[in-house]
Amino acid sequence: MSEGPDERIEVGEGRRNFLKIAVAGAAALAVGGAVGYYAREGEVTALKKRVEELAAQVGVEVGPVLEENLNIYNWTWYANLALVEQWAEENNIHLVYDFFEDLDTAISTITTGAAQYDLTVISDNEAQELWEGGYLREIDLDKIPNFKYVPEEFKGLPYDPDNTYSIIYSYGTTGIGYNADFVPEGITAWADLFEVDNPDSVIRRHAGKVTMMRDSTETLAAAAIYLGYDIDTTNESELQRIADLLIAQKPYLYGYVQTEDYMNELPVGQRYYISHAWNGDIAGIVYASDEYEVYIETYYDNIKYVVPEEGAVVWYDNFVIPKNAQNIEAAHAYINWFLDPVVSAIHTITIKYPYPAGLKYVPVEIKNDPMIFTPSELADRLYLGRALTPEERAIREQYWNMVMTA
Amino acid sequence: MNVADVIRRSRRLKLFIFIGIPMIYLLIFFFIPFLIALLYSLGMFKQVVYQYHFVPEPSLEYYVGLSKYPGIFKAIQRSFYYATLTTIGTLLISYPLAYYIGVKLEERYRDLAVLVVFTPFWINFLLRVYAMRFILHEAGMVNTILRLLGIITEPIRFLGTDVAVIVVMIYSYLIFMVLPLYGVLEKLNVELLEAAYTLGATPFRAFLKITLPLSIPGILAGSLLVFIPAVGEFVIPELVGGPNTTTLGTIIYSFFLRVRGVTGWGIGSAAGLIYIAMILVASYVYMRFVGGEVRLG
Amino acid sequence: MKLFDKILKAYTYTVLALIYLPIVILIIFSFNESRSKVVFTGFTLENYYSLIGNYRVWDSFYNSIWTGAVVTVVSVVLAILMAYGVSRYEFSGKTLIDSIMLIPIIIPEIVEALTLLVFLVIIGIELSPYTVIIGHVAFDISFAYVVVKARMAGYDPQFEEAARTLGADEIRAFTKVTLPILAPGIAAAALIAFLESYDDFIKTFFTRPPGFMTLPVYIWNMASRRGFPLDLNALATFVVAISLIFAYIRNRIERRVY
């Protein structure tokens, strides 16, 4: 299992065949395990273990000389940790898998330069701001052969056209989640949440039962989309209208809440049942996902997610290597392992966020769930944020504070 | 002459040990960073990828910039409002408690009583705040009890309101008032009180004339330990409050972490420094008023 | 008077009950079958089994305790020196020092945390558990100082002078007379200093090395995305139980002494 790079080139062909077999086998097991979950709950653990074993074998494929340590900094609930821990064990890496709970803290930690993380996950425009600021190290794609499994539409995205500094981790949209038990008529558009002058609008009929995100970027963007502005507008008269709209909406809201809050409340529906939300979090509720377990059956069928007609924010999270990283080889190896189709597929099945490289081996139920894999026909109404300067953010924050303290 | 003798003889050396050592520590690990905040607020500090540079061109840009944030003044007002109510609340709740334990309770049970009061605080602050959140939840205990008693039919909403923030703040800060109060009340000279009774003082007069004045250092210390952190409180409004409970702490936090860069840190530092100046003035006035002297305690 | 005492007693017990209420809730829900912390669905010990295997919780709990202990000792010692110096000696700038000592309590934590971090980067200190301790001590000195000084305010320097007249030198007078009198104040200061460190997470978050978690950092991370696991309720039960058992044993031992 510890072939050097040279040997790997020689046996490349055979290896690839093995890889195919392993991949197919593991995928079959993953699906089988999932199906088995319905019938024989007890066996799913054993099946999962075999999937992991196979995946780990595939993972060793990367194998050049790795450092002994690897410090990863990632969101909570964003990878199957059992699998990650096993990878570290197989590669004799002392892995520190650290969590952050919001991107702002993570970025501050990285940019001050004190903490040394080797690999972290940062979203699109923020990644651009980081590499433009010189905080990221170039990624050596030669060391990541599995990059070829990344579908073309996730390569060379606008924030990093040549994948010099970033490689896709996951992606999704910010739309509206709701509990269909309480909103049988459904929700289709931002207008449902912003037409406060129309007494028959969703927000008026469900006054006090709607939440927006307590996140300035997302909530300002939602209002901007409804008004037909650029989501990252810094035009003060536009921002003023956005603020006015949000202030007009405020009396009809339950409040501005955080992920943890709506994830717990939506299924119950007592405090509120319509939330401005991230798709993967809603999927997380629907499948009651867990970072150590593979669940594939839906748990709360009454929770729906919609990408509004007017459009929505799309975001891409990316692997990036901070400038002051120490364990570069191991970081590359981890990315390569993660991009392995089977590994990505298992992470997707577990967490219910889409890891694009694994699309092929994800069970049909999940692959076809628009909540998890955003359908490509929506592409023309999705808006990607752009990099902002601190001054631009300061202006936006000013209007956000106006809404918050209104 | 050995070292101990030198120390005994030199007043300067003694002063150095008592005041100097702690001050040197604070100077290095608190006041130099504090100076960095000051430099940021004056636009005299820049960062280029892990390298920090001093720019000797002070400007008041960020202080002026602050005036563009009308929300800040509302937030400051609210922060002081919460902190004042929290201080009064904790004082009213703690005083009788500390008095009972420190004065009335048999001496041998006092330590035990303090431990029992303290025990819930071994549980992490965040867990306690979350527990309060579940109690105040629309489906939580308070609402359930009120409903069972037939007082309400529709659940009352606490979370996201001032009530929730203040209740949780009082609960979280209570121990910081109890301990200093207990500290002074416990050493209260009971014989002094008895002497007062013998001389015909009513219990109420004795309390006003003897107990209360003697407990002022405790009240002062407790109020400082509650009021000051309470003004800057960020976590509690974040967890049990909502947009209508935005405090100064929340706004300063957002400058540093959301706006980021030299601008964010500059405005954030400026807001922080103005706030520090305000509190220093407020506590000075408070101590003059309550303590009759400027010195703390 | 008797009636007043009874009311006072009843009041004390009521307040105690209220203080314990959230803790009781945490403990009850540690036995909850479903993940909900609001609705009790059924009894289980599952959360306790899961707690035993949850190394992240134990690791962060251990880190919280040991850093908290070190922080407490260092900051209380420094605070005693300071409080003693300020109370006993006359020198210019005393009032100034009193005000300066308030600043670490006043400063919004995020300002303090990030500027300390910048300072550490500038002087080239690598992050380690000790940088967390350094950061905590910087604000804890002030908390401890305020409490110790309050105790010192009501204390009559005559005792110490008497001891000195009787031949004890200053250092001995301090250790044999002053310190024991200050003991309750010191204990209170230590408890407060420990709590401030044990509960802190903003400063910890920025000054910790990768992977070093304290309990608040762990809880904040878990809770802000999905709500924390009920393992933590189980841990709360464990901590309260230990603490109360400790209080009980202590009381038994003391009673024997009396």
Residue-wise pLDDT tens digits, A165-187: 999 999 999 999 999 999 999 99
Domains defined along chain C, listed by start: 56-228 (1.10.3720.10)
User: Measured between CB atoms, does A403 come within 8 Å of chain B?
Assistant: yes
Give the separation between CA A17 and CA A4, rounded to whole angstroms.
Answer: 18
Q: Give me the phi and psi of B97, to 5 degrees please.
A: -65, -50
Q: Which two tokens stand for residue B181?
A: 């109060």
- Written as six digits, the tokens of A95 are 């892995």
Highest mean pLDDT among A277-291, B129-143, C82-96, C142-156: B129-143
pLDDT of residue A184: 93
Model confidence at A248: pLDDT above 80: yes
* pLDDT for the residue A63: 46
Residue A155 included in any domain: no
User: What's at A3, amino acid-wise?
Assistant: E
Nearest Cβ partner for A397 among B138, B160, B254: B254
Instruction: Give the Cβ contact number of residue A214 at 10 Å.
Output: 19
Span of C130-134, C139-143, C160-164 with lowest mean pLDDT = C160-164
pLDDT at B291: 54
Confidence of residue A25 (pLDDT cuts 50, 70, 90): very low
Joined tokens for residue B102: 């420190």
Amino acid code (one letter) for B238: E
SS3 A137: strand
Lowest mean pLDDT among A127-131, A167-171, B216-220, C116-120: B216-220
B63-99: b or e for each residue (b if 16 or more CB lie within 10 Å)? bebbeebebbebbbebbbebbebbbebbbebbbbbbb
Q: CA–CA separation, A341 vs A61, rounded Å?
A: 13
Contact B156, B146 (CB under 8 A): yes
Q: Which range has the worst mean pLDDT, A54-58, A368-372, B228-232, C18-22?
A: A54-58
Contact B33, C116 (CB under 8 A): yes
Tell me the chain C residues in contact with residue A108 when contact means C-beta distances shorter than 8 Å: 114, 206
DSSP code of residue B152: -
Q: What is the pLDDT of residue C38?
A: 67
Using CA atoms, how far apart are residues A14 and A405, in angstroms rounded to an integer? 64
Q: Is A174 helix (H, G, I), strand (E, B) or coil?
A: strand
pLDDT of residue C85: 87
Chain B contact present for C17, CB below 8 A: no
Mean pLDDT of A38-59: 53
Is residue A219 one of the residues assigned to a domain? yes
Judge: A112–C225 Cβ closer than 8 Å, yes or no: no
Model pLDDT, residue B46: 86
* Cβ pair A260:C223 closer than 8 A: yes
Question: What mean pLDDT comes out for the span A227-243?
Answer: 95
Q: Chain A: nearest CA to C127, how far in angstroms?
A: 6
- What predicted TM-score, i.e. pTM, was given to this entire model? 0.86
Give the single-character DSSP code of C154: T
pLDDT digits (tens, 9 = 90+) for A57-96: 655 443 457 888 999 999 988 898 888 998 999 889 999 9
Q: What is the pLDDT of residue A22?
A: 43
- List alpha helices for chain C, DSSP H: 2-29, 46-53, 55-88, 94-100, 103-106, 109-123, 129-153, 158-165, 170-173, 179-199, 202-207, 215-226, 231-257
Q: What is the pLDDT of residues A318-347, one digit of tens each?
A: 999 999 999 999 999 999 999 999 899 989
Select from A73, A102, A264 the Cβ nearest to the Cβ of C227: A264
In angstroms, the first-to-last Cα distance of chain B is 38
Check: CB of residue A317 under 8 Å from CB of residue A190: no
* CATH number of the domain that residue A257 is part of: 3.40.190.10
Q: Which of C53, C28, C69 is nearest to C195 (CA)?
A: C69
Q: Do C210 and A258 touch (CB under 8 A)?
A: no
**What is the reported pLDDT for A317?**
96
User: Of B117, B223, B259, nearest to C18 (Cα)?
Assistant: B117
- CB-based contact, A94 to chain C, within 8 Å: no
pLDDT at residue C1, as a whole number: 60
Provide the residue type at A150 as one letter. V
Q: Which helix (H) or strand (E) holds B176?
A: helix B162-186
> Is A89 domain-assigned?
no
A252-282 tens-digit pLDDT: 999 898 888 888 889 888 889 999 999 988 9
Which CATH architecture is the domain B68-109+165-291 placed in? Orthogonal Bundle (1.10)
Q: Which of residues 147-206 of A touch B (CB under 8 A)?
A: none
Give, to the nearest 10 degrees, the angle between helix C215-226 and helix B125-136: 30
Name the residue among A73, A162, A177, A149 with its Cα closest to residue A355.
A149
Given pLDDT bands bounded at 50, 70 and 90, which one contains residue A54? low
DSSP per position, A37-104: HHH-GGGHHHHHHHHHHHHHHHHHTT-S---SEEEEEEETT-S-HHHHHHHHHHTT-EEEEEEESSHH
The range of the structural domain enclosing residue A280 comes to 172-314+376-405
Interchain pair A112, C121: CB under 8 A: yes
Residue B246 to residue A104, Cβ atoms within 8 A: no
Nearest Cα neighbor of B138 from B155, B160, B161 is: B155
For residue C195, list chain B residues with Cβ-Cβ distance below 8 A: 121, 125, 175-176
The residue ranges of chain B whose pLDDT is under 50 are 292-297
Residues of C in contact with B123 (CB under 8 A): 23, 26, 236, 239-240
Q: Which DSSP helix (H) or strand (E) runs through A136?
A: strand A136-137
pLDDT of residue C17: 93
According to the model, what pLDDT value does residue A284 have?
A: 84
- Taking an 8 Å cut-off on Cβ atoms, the answer to whether A324 and B242 are in contact is no
Domain(s) labelled CATH 1.10.3720.10 in chain B stretch across 68-109+165-291
Task: Pick the more confident residue, B58 or A35.
Answer: B58
From chain B, the residues in CB contact with A250 under 8 A are: 243
Residue C250 has pLDDT above 90, yes or no: no
Helix (H, G, I), strand (E, B) or coil at A344: helix
A262 half-sphere exposure, CB direction, 13 A CA radius: 32
Task: Tell me the C-alpha distance between A173 and A313, whole Å.
Answer: 6
Tokens of A67: 């450092």
Complex confidence, ipTM: 0.88
Interface check C76 vs B, CB under 8 A: no
Q: How confident is the model at residue A21 (pLDDT cuts 50, 70, 90)?
A: very low
> B28: how many CB neighbours lie within 10 A of its CB?
14
For chain C, the chains sharing at least 3 beta-carbon pairs closer than 8 angstroms are A, B
Whether A185 is covered by a domain: the verdict is yes
Helix (H, G, I), strand (E, B) or coil at B71: helix
Cβ count within 10 A of residue A104 = 20
Angle formed by the axes of helices B162-186 and C179-199, nearest 10°: 160
Q: Which of these, A371, C175, A312, A107, lies nearest to B259 by C-alpha position?
A: A107
**Burial label, A155 (beta-carbon count in 10 A; 0-12, 13-18, 19+):** middle
Count the residues in chain B: 297
Q: State mean pLDDT over A196-218.
A: 92
Average pLDDT over residues A189-193: 95
Interface check B126 vs C, CB under 8 A: yes
Q: Is residue A245 part of a domain?
A: yes
Most confident region among A253-262, A397-406, B19-28, C80-89 by mean pLDDT: B19-28
Please tell me if residue B163 touches chain C, with a CB cutoff of 8 Å: no
Q: Which residue has the higher pLDDT, A47 or A245?
A: A245
Q: What is the mean pLDDT of residues C89-112?
A: 86
Q: Does residue C73 belong to the interface with chain B, where contact is any CB pair within 8 Å?
A: no
> How far, in Å, CA of A54 to CA of A22, rounded?
6
**Quick one: average pLDDT of C163-188?**
78
Percent of chain C with pLDDT over 70: 93
- A301 within some domain: yes
Minimal Cα–Cα distance from A292 to chain C, Å? 12
